[in-house]
Structure 1
Amino acid sequence: MSVTRFPDHTLESAPAAARATMAAVERKQGYLPVGVTRLASAPELLNGFLKVSALFESTTLDPLAREVVIMTMATRNGCHLCVAMHTARLTALDADAALLAALRDGNPLPDERLEAVRQFTLAVLATNGAVDDAALDAFLAHGHTSRNALEVVLGIGAYTMSTLANRMTDAPVDPQLAAFA
């Protein structure tokens, strides 16, 4: 994919509707990620993803469970940028090395509760949301709730936007995340 189709916008070159969001991301991250500079071409997508992502972060799913949903989406959709970014996030959460390796490789997770999240995420995707009772019961049997099941759908929605857009724009891994790529 040609970079010129999806330019690396600056705060000055970006559409006006993306500038405040870009500035906020830069303040929060300490740098302006290339994924953001490319998504700025569509301010509605950039703003929408960040709003939905923030909503997902506010759910009752615990941080590791949310990261399992995200990494499941990232590996399934082949988003190398998301894999690096969320490997960094999991590292900051002191996630076990075996958990990280399994998530990155798309393998069963060593933690049964988190594996239930991964399996449920995959079941929702495979059935377009029409999960059967067995899939839902397996998820619920590990201490998750029906609210959590719907929160998984929110995470899938957010990270469908992110993974597909990052792949379309061919967003590279930022130098700040290179160690996690």
Structure 2
Amino acid sequence: MSQDVFVAHTVESAPAAARSTMEATRKKFGYIPEPVARMAASPEVLKGFLTVNAVFEQSTLPPLDREVLILTIATRNGCHVCVAMHSAVLAGLQASPDLIEDLRARRPLQDARLEALRVFAHAVMDSLGAVGDKEMRAFLEAGYTPQNALEVVLGIGTYTISTFANRMTDAALDPALRDFAWEEEAA
């Protein structure tokens, strides 16, 4: 049904308020990713996601940690587009194939610090932010800061927009990401 409701807009077919954002995205990537083309149905959602994502990218969490957080959210929310895209980003960051595969399979991570981040992210989502003392202490003892804890909330908010919008619009995987395709395992 979503394929019938949400079309993949071009710059020309998109609402006027989304066109400059789409053009900037095309300039950055060389093409307009399917999720952006579909999210353009709401210029506010498209601009909101891209704006908050730019803020998240400026957080004090290192790039590898941000990507671990994003992939944790994407697998939890079942967003095949985000899992593929951020698996590719992790590969570009020279992350170990084991780390990428463990994240995609929702397995504990071998790196204790990154595992603390993954566990903390789930604790934040499970508790709707009301993280217990034990979980907070474990996160901080792994070398993270109170600022990082709040940045995890920022990342969750950012990628909840993306994963939910991608699922709602039934965004297809762009050909450039096919090597990183992911299917959610049946429970």
Please say if 1:49 is aligned against 2:55: no
Partner of 2:95: 95
User: C-alpha separation between the residues in 2 aligned to 1:54 and 1:27?
Assistant: 16
Partner of 1:26: 26
**Conservation of the 8 A alpha-carbon contact between 2:2 and 2:168:** no
Amino acid at match of 2:18: A
Partner of 1:140: 140
Give the deviation of 1:154 after TM superposition.
0.1
User: Can you give the 5+ residue segments of structure 2 that lack an aligned partner in the other structure?
Assistant: 182-187
Partner of 2:172: 172
Partner of 1:125: 125
Count of residues paired in the alignment: 181
> Normalised by the size of structure 2, how large is the TM-score?
0.95
Secondary structure of 1:12's counterpart equals coil
User: Can you give the 5+ residue segments of structure 1 that lack an aligned partner in the other structure?
Assistant: none
Partner of 1:7: 7
Q: Deviations over 1:36-84 (max 9, x none)?
A: 0000000100000001111110000001110111001100000000000
Give the deviation of 1:137 after TM superposition.
0.5
Measured on the aligned residues, the alpha-carbon RMSD in Å equals: 0.6
User: C-alpha separation between the residues in 1 aligned to 2:54 and 2:19?
Assistant: 18
Query: 4+ runs of 1 displaced by more than 2 Å?
Result: none
User: C-alpha separation between the residues in 2 aligned to 1:121 and 1:17?
Assistant: 34
Amino acid at match of 1:88: A
> Normalised by the size of structure 1, how large is the TM-score?
0.99
The 5 A counterparts of 1:54-93 are 54-93=54-93
User: C-alpha separation between the residues in 2 aligned to 1:69 and 1:51?
Assistant: 18
Partner of 1:154: 154
